């Protein structure tokens, strides 16, 4: 008995020591940076196979992306909707829920925004923008809340429901673009350009960067505050980490499902607002078709943390701006940008896997040390 | 522990079929198996007897290749072997019937039995041939099952039969059965025992894991008692007495601490009246149950697990609907109230599975200590968390309950098992101002931590709280409780004052044998 008690004390002190020595593993936090570099390296190899010098391609990319204020501003403009769809996935992910239907919620938000902007042309600008913002938010959030509801009510798989609802959203958007919202000329499946009063003012004159970027930053801040500063966010994270414990603590887990999807969908819907009112100023069939999927990658790259998501979205924005110009000015196929993005995400996912393995390995080592101590 | 002389003679006469030597297995914070030597002889039924957490299942999981031992060797028929997986174990003729079945519910009996035995991928699968073989085995051992029925349509007893057939189909000569009767009715149990006798008669052996005394005495040839990962007794059935085995299982003469034995007739805190609760299978898990717990009293509920304890606990914390009857806390009806309002009434709940139900391992200590206050206005400011209050709460509880950690921001995952349980206990004691429900509060803890939890419960009792202790560990119940209720099939067979309680009697009650019944039998 005494012997065992001694051992317990010893192991306790060992665990204490290892807690302190965890600081040695700070480098694990920089793993995403390493893996981004690894992703760039892998796509560099790909370029080699295609017969291009990756060093030249990358340096061109950098040069183009940061050539002038217009391009730099464009990075931020491109990042704006990606921040929001990234937040949409990341927020739900914090509750261990998978909202992979940000694309559909984005389209619903865009439809609402364009409809409001077209019909409210005579309103003062701030009022139009306010209404567009609220309506796009509502469109996205209600669309997503349905996913949460069927999950809560029927235990439907949110992964499948959110994915399939995207196709429904696309169909609805196409239907409206072919009828109610179709341009006056009636030629293409797209809307008219929205009146000037519905345009988000630009942030830097003579660039495409608009106030939507500030909106996206504020939303990211809001997501952070909800998750880590409010009682609601605490409940959401608890549901994400351990649903059983949440139930025992008196949390209505089903209600949390609906709330999380509502908020997550709102973020994606707002992306529709920033794209329609800030960037495109109209709605075209099938525009930005990859924004939802890229949001997932960005959320993973950013470890589902709002700050990480903002930084990853900026990285993707830079890749897009630089990449597009490289493609336009040389004979490199355009798909190389997508491939680079893919490799980056892939290596990030792998890095999380490796990190978990490393942690397990370290804990095992710790255990072995304990055992040796015992003998 | 020296071997019994008779055992030596047996071993000399018969071939050892399996020898475990010096088997040791560590789990973080505990030693599950501590240098165990065990021999299994062909043609015997060996019972592994012990309390929950004594290391029975771990030892058998090692033999079946589910775990790798940290030390020690396994010999089969004199040859040293390494069992890396259940597949290896089957090669050596070892089959295991798990407590929770490993069948595919939507597949047929034959599909389940042959699953994993077919090596060819593209060859035609001759189901008829397999069915014939299964029927043959079934006939030989009296285990007839229709091979084309879908598993989920079969009653539990027959599903177990399919599990056994699965092992026999793989030519198992040694069957490990982990608490096989826990899910069976008495009639089904009898059939199972008939099978075990048959199986033994054919020269095969069975390792029977159980913590039910009466069954062990009925079926085993030899009984090995495990306690805290060590073998404490190895006796032949003829030589064993029920009282002695129970003693061995618990391990010490129970020292009953001095208490102010005259319980003041304090007010009744928890009143349960004619409670009926349905289980998951629409059976009556709790059947017309009534009892009370007074202020300043520990009421212990003991019994073999699966007799309704879990359902009772869930109903008390609002997670399971009550069908009939009433639960009242200091004269306030809390029947079928939601979890949160029950928490706010002042009921603390220490769950059996702290990792699953009591803690969020990925969150910090302070967040875990705050877990049940998420809607408490004291900690909130317009929906925002009051970090100062949360930290202050954590600091106080960590000091009062001696939670050892680098800081209150450390993730609970990084704590030792004992400190993790302290976090859960601290929180629940803090919330449970009137009643504490503790379900298996010391499961899987090391001795120091067990002692700590026990002391805490006694202290809270002294301060006038009502405590309902639900545990399958008799030693715990005997040391702590003022009154003891023995639960069997959703009823309390008897409520005993501790000073009148005898271990033997409780052991028999746990098996459903009341005084009258026993006398009638003899």
Looking at chain B from residue 336 to 365, which residues have their Cβ under 8 Å from any Cβ of chain A? Answer: 338-343, 349, 351, 356-363
| Measured distance CA(B397)–CA(B403) in Å, rounded | 8
pLDDT at residue B12 tops 80: no
Q: How many CB pairs under 8 A join A and B?
A: 105
How far B58 CA sits from the closest chain A CA (Å)? Answer: 18
Mean pLDDT of B377-403: 91
Of the candidate CATH numbers 3.40.50.300, 1.10.1670.40, 1.20.58.100, 3.40.50.1100, the domain formed by B5-93+173-250 belongs to 3.40.50.300
- Out of A5, A16, A232, closest to residue B404 by CB: A16
Within 8 A of A364 by CB-CB distance, chain B residues are none
**C-alpha distance from residue B154 to each of A30, A281, B167, B192, B517 (Å):** 54, 64, 18, 16, 32
pTM of structure: 0.77
pLDDT value at residue A369? 66
End-to-end CA distance of chain A: 16
Q: What is the pLDDT of residues B226-250, one digit of tens each?
A: 888 889 889 998 888 877 887 787 7
* CATH class of the structural domain B277-286+295-323+337-521: alpha beta
Percent of chain B with pLDDT over 70: 90
pLDDT value at residue B261? 47
Confidence of residue B470 (pLDDT cuts 50, 70, 90): very high
Q: How do the pLDDT tens digits run along chain A, 375 residues long?
A: 455 555 444 444 444 444 434 444 566 667 778 888 999 999 999 889 888 899 999 999 999 999 999 999 999 999 999 999 999 999 999 999 999 999 999 999 999 999 999 998 888 999 999 999 999 999 999 999 999 999 999 999 999 999 999 999 999 999 999 988 998 888 899 999 999 999 999 999 999 999 999 999 999 999 999 999 999 999 999 999 999 999 999 999 999 999 999 999 999 999 999 999 999 999 999 889 999 999 998 998 888 999 999 999 999 999 999 999 998 888 888 888 888 888 988 888 888 888 878 877 776 676 666 656 654
Within 8 A of A230 by CB-CB distance, chain B residues are 383-385
Does the beta-carbon distance from A5 to B448 stay under 8 Å?
Answer: yes
Higher pLDDT, B223 or A338: B223
Probe site for chain B from A250, A360, A370 (most B CB atoms < 10 A): A250
pLDDT value at residue A17? 42
| Measured distance CA(B403)–CA(B398) in Å, rounded | 5
pLDDT at residue B517 tops 60: no
pLDDT value at residue A22? 44
SS3 content of chain B, % helix, strand, coil (to 5): 40, 25, 35
Quick one: which of B329, B373, B313, B389 has its CA closest to A249? B373
Higher pLDDT, A299 or B214: A299
| Measured distance CA(B155)–CA(B468) in Å, rounded | 34
pLDDT value at residue B515? 65
**C-alpha distance from residue B290 to each of B271, B275, B327, B485, B490 (Å):** 8, 6, 9, 11, 11
Confidence of residue B29 (pLDDT cuts 50, 70, 90): low
| Measured distance CA(B430)–CA(B53) in Å, rounded | 28
Lowest mean pLDDT of A112-126, B108-122, B332-346, name the range.
B108-122
- Out of A11, A241, A251, closest to residue B29 by CB: A11
Lowest mean pLDDT of B179-193, B285-299, B345-359, name the range.
B179-193
How far B406 CA sits from the closest chain A CA (Å)? Answer: 6
- Out of A11, A230, A238, closest to residue B360 by CB: A238
List every span in chain B annotated with CATH 3.40.50.300.
5-93+173-250, 277-286+295-323+337-521
How does the average pLDDT of chain B come out, rounded? 85
Q: What is the pLDDT of residues A261-297, one digit of tens each?
A: 999 999 999 999 999 999 999 999 988 999 999 999 8
Confidence of residue B265 (pLDDT cuts 50, 70, 90): low
Q: Which of B109-118, B232-241, B423-432 has the highest mean pLDDT?
A: B423-432
Q: Which residues of B139-172 are buried (b: 16+ CB within 10 A; e: fewer)?
A: eebebebebeeebeebeeebbbbbbbbbbbbbeb
How far B318 CA sits from the closest chain A CA (Å)? Answer: 9
């Amino acid at each position: 008995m005494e012997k065992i008690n001694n051992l317990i004390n010893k192991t306790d002190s060992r665990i204490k020591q290892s807690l302190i020595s965890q600081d040695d593993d700070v480098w694990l936090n920089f793993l995403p940076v390493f893996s981004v570099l690894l992703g760039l390296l892998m796509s560099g190899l790909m370029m080699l196979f295609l017969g291009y010098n990756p060093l030249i391609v990358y340096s061109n990319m950098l040069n183009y992306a940061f050539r002038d204020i217009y391009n730099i501003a464009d990075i931020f403009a491109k990042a704006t909707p990606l921040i929001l769809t990234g937040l949409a996935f990341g927020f739900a992910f914090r509750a261990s829920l998978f909202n992979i239907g940000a694309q559909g919620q984005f389209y619903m938000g865009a439809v609402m925004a364009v409809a409001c902007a077209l019909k409210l042309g005579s309103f003062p600008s701030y009022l139009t923008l306010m209404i567009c913002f609220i309506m796009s938010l509502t469109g996205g959030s209600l669309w997503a809340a349905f996913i949460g509801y069927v999950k809560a009510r029927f235990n439907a798989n949110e992964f499948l429901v959110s994915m399939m609802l995207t196709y429904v959203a696309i169909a609805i958007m196409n239907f409206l673009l072919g009828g109610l919202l179709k341009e006056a000329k009636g030629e293409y499946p797209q809307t008219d350009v929205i009146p000037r009063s519905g345009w988000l003012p630009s942030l830097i004159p003579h660039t495409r960067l608009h106030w939507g970027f500030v909106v996206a930053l504020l939303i990211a801040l809001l997501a952070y505050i909800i998750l880590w500063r409010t009682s609601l966010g605490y409940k959401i994270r608890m549901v994400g980490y351990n649903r059983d414990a949440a139930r025992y603590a008196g949390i209505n887990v089903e209600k949390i499902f609906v709330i999380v999807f509502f908020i997550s969908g709102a973020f994606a819907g707002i992306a529709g607002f920033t794209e329609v009112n800030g960037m495109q100023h109209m709605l075209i069939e099938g525009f930005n078709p990859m924004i939802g999927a890229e949001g997932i990658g960005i959320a993973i790259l950013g470890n589902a943390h709002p700050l990480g998501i903002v930084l990853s979205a900026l990285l993707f924005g830079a890749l897009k701006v630089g990449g597009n110009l490289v493609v336009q000015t040389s004979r490199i196929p355009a798909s190389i940008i997508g491939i680079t993005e893919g490799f980056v995400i892939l290596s990030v996912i792998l890095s999380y896997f490796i990190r978990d393995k490393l942690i397990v390995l370290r804990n095992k080592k710790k255990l072995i040390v304990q055992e040796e101590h015992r003998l | 522990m020296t071997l019994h002389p008779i055992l030596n003679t047996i071993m000399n006469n018969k071939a050892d079929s399996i020898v475990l030597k010096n088997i040791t297995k560590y789990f973080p914070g505990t030693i599950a198996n501590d240098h165990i030597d065990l021999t299994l002889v062909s043609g015997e039924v060996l019972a592994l007897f012990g309390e929950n957490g004594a290391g029975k299942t771990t030892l058998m999981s090692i033999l079946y290749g589910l775990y790798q031992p940290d030390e020690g060797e396994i010999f089969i028929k004199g040859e040293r072997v390494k069992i890396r997986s259940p597949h290896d174990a089957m090669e050596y003729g070892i089959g295991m019937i798990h407590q929770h079945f490993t069948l595919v519910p939507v597949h047929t009996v034959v599909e389940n039995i042959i699953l994993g035995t077919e090596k060819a991928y593209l060859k035609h699968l001759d189901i008829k041939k397999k069915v014939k073989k299964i029927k043959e085995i079934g006939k030989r051992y009296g285990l007839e099952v229709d091979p084309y029925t879908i598993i989920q349509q079969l009653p539990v007893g027959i599903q177990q039969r399919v599990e056994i057939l699965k092992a026999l189909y793989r030519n198992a000569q040694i069957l490990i059965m982990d608490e096989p009767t826990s899910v069976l009715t008495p009639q089904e149990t009898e059939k199972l025992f008939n099978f075990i006798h048959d199986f033994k008669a054919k020269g095969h052996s069975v390792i029977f894991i159980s913590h039910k005394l009466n069954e062990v005495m009925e079926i085993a040839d030899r009984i090995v008692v495990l306690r805290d990962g060590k073998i404490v007794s190895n006796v032949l059935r003829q030589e064993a007495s029920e009282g002695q085995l129970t003693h061995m299982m618990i391990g010490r003469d129970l020292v009953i601490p001095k208490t102010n034995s005259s319980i003041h007739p304090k007010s009744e805190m928890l009143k349960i009246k004619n409670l009926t609760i349905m289980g998951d299978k629409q059976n009556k898990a709790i059947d017309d149950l009534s009892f009370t717990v007074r202020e300043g009293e520990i009421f212990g509920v003991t019994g073999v697990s699966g007799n309704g304890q879990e359902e009772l606990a869930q109903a008390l914390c609002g997670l399971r609907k009550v069908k009939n009857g009433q639960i009242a806390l200091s004269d306030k009806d809390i029947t079928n109230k939601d979890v949160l309002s029950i928490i706010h009434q002042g009921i603390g709940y220490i769950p059996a599975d702290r990792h699953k139900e009591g803690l969020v391992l990925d969150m910090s200590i302070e967040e875990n200590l705050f877990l049940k206050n998420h809607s408490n206005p004291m900690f909130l400011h317009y929906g925002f968390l009051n970090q100062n209050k949360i930290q202050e709460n954590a600091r106080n509880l960590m000091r009062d309950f001696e939670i050892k950690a680098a800081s209150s921001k450390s993730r609970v995952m990084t704590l030792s098992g004992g400190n993790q349980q302290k976090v859960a206990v601290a929180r629940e004691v803090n919330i449970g101002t009137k009643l504490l429900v503790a379900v298996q509060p010391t499961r899987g803890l090391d001795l120091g931590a067990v002692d700590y939890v026990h002391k805490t419960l006694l202290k809270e009792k002294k301060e006038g709280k009502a405590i309902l202790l639900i545990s399958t560990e008799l030693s715990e119940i005997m040391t702590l409780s003022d009154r003891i209720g023995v639960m069997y099939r959703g009823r309390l067979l008897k409520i005993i004052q501790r000073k009148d309680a005898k271990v033997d009697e409780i052991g028999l009650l746990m098996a459903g044998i009341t005084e009258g019944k026993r006398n009638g039998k003899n």
